[in-house]
Each structure stands twice: as structure tokens, then as C-alpha cells.
Amino acid sequence: MPTNAVIETILSRSAAKYYDPTATLSDDQIRDLVRIGTSAPTSFHLQNWRFIAVRTPEAKARLRPIAWNQPAITDAAVTFIIIGQLADASTVPERLAAVVEAGIMPAHLVPEWEIPARGLYDGQPQRQRDEAVRSATFGTAAIIYAARSLGLGSTPMIGFDAEAVHR
């Protein structure tokens, strides 16, 4: 099997079970992780994700009881709430604006992306939701592996009350 730093990072990751509750991450470190996460691909560049960094003891204490009381929620330096947004093709022009402005994409291509995106997602709630989960997962995976490469542990979690976290 070939190996290099990226492969080594991928292969050496595991889900952390215990966290040092005294460890912290700075705002810049958290911002860097999210910036890396949002370099992941999304369908039509929809960027249909949001990352909420829960980091104060008070906020984590609110989250823990609605996340199966898992100690990692409060022990980890930061607990991200990962949000996938329903794929919405009407956001394509807004999402591509910066790419057009930077001269990377010619403006005439914008409708050429929006039209097929509408064909794919408009009136298709199941597909919109699938895309939300897919996008959030790609972004999260990038954060998990970037964290690993920086020597930081992580644990993906489904053990929470989605309704309560949503509220």
C-alpha cells in the first residue's frame, strides 16, 4: 500500500472516547478548522452547511443532557453542531457570485448551473434532504481529518435528540 502524510492521517484516525477537559482551542483554531471543512465539495457549490461551534461551559452544559449525557460533549474543547441545509437551487447565483467576481467562472455559466440544479432539486424533498446530509458529511469529514493531522481527536456523534438540538 502506498503511504504519505495524507494517507497516514486517514489511517491513523480513530474516534476519541476520552477528552482532556482542560484543553482549549482558540477562536482562530476553530475558524481554521471550519475554513478547511468548507473547502470540501458540494453539489453545484451550494455550500448547504452550517457549523456551530459550542465552546462555553454554559452552552456545552445545555447540550449534554440532550446528547445522551455523553461526557465528550462537555469534555471536548469544542463540540460542533453540524447542520446540513436542504438543497435549494435558488441559492446558486448567490453562492457562485464570489467565484464569478474572482474571475474564476464566467457570469454566463451561472444560469447553466442554476437550471440543472433546479431540475434536480425543485419539488424533490427527499433529494434535497439527501443532499443536506451528504454535504454536511463531506464538510465534517474534512474537519475530522484536518483535526487529526493537527494532533486533535474527534468523535462523530449521532447520539443526540435531534428535535431538542434543533430547538
Ligand X SMILES: Cc1cc2nc3c(=O)[nH]c(=O)nc-3n(C[C@H](O)[C@H](O)[C@H](O)COP(=O)(O)O)c2cc1C
Write out the residues near ligand X by the rule CB under 6 A. 14-15, 70, 155-159
> In the complex with ligand X, which residue's Cβ is closer, 100 or 157?
157
- Cα–Cα distance for residue pair 93/141, rounded to 1 Å: 26
- CB 144, min distance to ligand X, A: 9
- CB 166, min distance to ligand X, A: 17
- CB 101, min distance to ligand X, A: 36
- CB 151, min distance to ligand X, A: 16
Neighbouring CB atoms inside 10 A of 147's CB total 21
Pick from 58, 59, 56, 60: nearest CA to 72:
60
User: Closest residue to ligand X, Cβ-based?
Assistant: 159
> In the complex with ligand X, which residue's Cβ is closer, 14 or 39?
14
> In the complex with ligand X, which residue's Cβ is closer, 99 or 157?
157
Q: What 3-state class would DSSP assign to 80?
A: strand
Pick from 144, 157, 150: nearest CA to 72:
157
> In the complex with ligand X, which residue's Cβ is closer, 71 or 116?
71
Question: % helix / strand / coil in the chain, to the nearest 5?
Answer: 55, 10, 35
